[in-house]
Amino acid sequence: MKKWLNLLILSMLVFVPIQAAAQSDITIQPGETVTVGLDSTFAPYGFLDDGEYTGFDIELAEEVFDNMGVDYEFQSIDWSMKEAELNNGNIDMIWNGYSKTPEREELVLFSDNYVEGRVGVLVKNDSEIQTIADLEGKKVATQEGSSQLEAIRQQPGLEESLDGGRVITFSSFNEVLQELATGRVDAIVVAELVTRYYFSQNGQAGDYRMLDEDFGITETAVGFRQNETAFVEDFNVALNEVLISEAYEEIENRWFAELGGDESAEEANMLAPLLDAAKTTLLVFFVVLIVSIPLGLIIALLEQRAPAWIKAIIQVYVYVFRGSPLLLQLMVVYFGLPFLGITLDRVPAALATMIINYAAYLVEIFRGGLNAIPQGQYESLKVLSINKLTGYRRVILPQLWKVVMPSVGNEVISLVKDTSLIYILGLDELLKVGRSLSNQYASMMPYLYVGVIYLALTGIVTIVLNQIEKRIDY
């Protein structure tokens, strides 16, 4: 038993190695629609605006693919899993402010560069920091997994000389900028082009300055699978034709204003896209709720009367899914199963994983409830010659619901919040769209709206649960 348990746990941890993906048999076929992978929260390169993808890279992609005569579609992904998405064939290219680095060049085949920009240090106007050497002993932040972070780490001894001996990282540029604005860090390392966009949105350029010294120039290109040489050659021809056109100049001027100015962009209605994203959140919530509760009950009843070997399987299932993070389970199901020949789309993968996860917790809740019912209740069914189906429906289950309802209610409320984890599969749920709006408008207000919506949802769920508890309180 212990041997099998260890093997199952190991199978959860041995997750898809991005660099070892078998991609030789996945190529872009002539005439097929190509899928462009992007982080839909990364303004100004690519993001959602009123349910439509927009941004510098989006407009550039439209020009290039029209030039090539290729049909295309955009697919939101989690940026930390971009290479896995590419290697699994879920997307055909990574196009979203994707900077060239030596590490990335080992993983993907890059197109020609289409934009270049400084990686610099941004400080407040009144800061004493004048050069990169002045960062010693200071708190410095940047975006996690970015080329800016790699630029810092390529400077010998720089990161070790900072306050705390490390760079502070955040998932989005907007969060990095907020750290500097609030004074929690002394400087941030940024891409100048992105900084220009943010200041064009919040009108705060006059409060900051870029150091004259920088970390060099970052080259931005499109990443393909390494076996897409033929397609990339045609792509580069079309890309370079667009880069010397008036259309490209208009796109660049539209998205990258010069650093400076104090006028903020007008904020659009943020509530509409958040409410639209809440539909995805509610869809996942209701489907998982409706399926996982009866599934958990059935498994708990089966465990109660099943042979020892079935009980052992159920116990291992419950242990694995309760003992590992739901986020890891989502990643294993969506990114790992294709290597076993099982490929699920994003929504089915999210639903299946969350149903199985929540059912595991509910199995234990129902098992405890069934054990709390006196054994005499089961024996009385036999004495009175009441068949099992009728006995459980009329006698056991009514008592069970009264016992387990508070615990089930806690799981239901947790489910409302856990729906935010499906962002890892590239699904545009409520919190992810809030992050996108925060980046788009360089504002923290979308997070406030998201919090209010979550509180409203959990409030409604709590009221419903309280009413159910009152009805079964006899």
Q: How many CA atoms lie within 13 A of 231 on its CB side?
A: 24
Query: Whole-angstrom Cα distance, residue 88 to residue 131?
Result: 43
The radius of gyration of the chain from alpha carbons, rounded to an integer in Å, stands at: 27
Could you tell me the strand order of the sheet in which 41-42 lies? 41-42, 46-49, 52-54
End-to-end CA distance of the chain: give it in Å, rounded: 43
* Per-residue confidence (pLDDT) for residue 8, from 0 to 100: 47
Instruction: Name, in order, each residue with C-beta under 8 angstroms of 410's C-beta and a sequence gap of 6 or more.
Output: none
* Per-residue confidence (pLDDT) for residue 41, from 0 to 100: 83
CATH number of 116-219: 3.40.190.10
Query: Whole-angstrom Cα distance, residue 44 to residue 96?
Result: 9
pLDDT tens across the length of the chain (474 residues): 444 445 444 444 444 343 344 445 688 888 899 999 998 888 889 988 877 899 999 999 999 999 999 999 999 998 888 998 998 889 999 999 998 988 899 999 999 999 988 899 999 999 999 999 999 999 999 988 788 898 899 899 999 999 999 999 988 788 888 899 899 999 999 988 888 888 877 777 788 999 999 998 889 999 999 999 999 999 999 999 999 999 999 998 888 754 444 444 445 577 888 988 999 999 999 999 999 999 999 999 898 888 999 999 999 999 999 999 999 999 999 988 888 888 899 999 999 999 999 999 999 999 988 888 877 766 676 667 676 667 676 677 778 888 889 999 999 999 999 999 998 888 889 998 888 888 777 778 889 999 999 999 999 999 999 998 888 765
Residue 308, CA distances (Å) to 9, 165, 300, 302, 313 in order:
21, 54, 14, 11, 9
Domain range 271-471, its CATH number among 1.10.3720.10, 3.40.33.10, 3.40.50.970, 2.10.109.10: 1.10.3720.10
CB 26 within 8 A of CB 225: yes
CB 414 within 8 A of CB 362: no
* Per-residue confidence (pLDDT) for residue 268, from 0 to 100: 56
The domain spans of the chain are 21-112+222-255, 116-219, 271-471
E strands, 256-323, where? none
pLDDT 10s digits, 387-423:
666 767 667 777 888 888 999 999 999 999 999 999 8
**Closest C-alpha to 23, from 68, 81, 89:** 89
* Per-residue confidence (pLDDT) for residue 198, from 0 to 100: 80
* Per-residue confidence (pLDDT) for residue 257, from 0 to 100: 58
| Beta bridge mates, 140 | 187
DSSP 8-state assignment for residue 125: T
CB 177 within 8 A of CB 441: no
Q: How many CA atoms lie within 13 A of 378 on its CB side?
A: 9
Q: Which two tokens stand for residue 157?
A: 């001894």
Instruction: Name, in order, each residue with C-beta under 8 angstroms of 248's C-beta and a sequence gap of 6 or more.
Output: 60, 63, 242
**Closest C-alpha to 300, from 392, 415, 412:** 392
* Per-residue confidence (pLDDT) for residue 391, from 0 to 100: 67
Topology of domain 21-112+222-255 in CATH is D-Maltodextrin-Binding Protein; domain 2 (3.40.190)
The bridge status of strand 46-49 relative to strand 41-42 is: antiparallel
Instruction: Name, in order, each residue with C-beta under 8 angstroms of 184's C-beta and a sequence gap of 6 or more.
Output: 139
- CATH topology agreement for domains 21-112+222-255 and 116-219: yes
Report which secondary-structure segment, H or E, holds 398.
helix 397-418
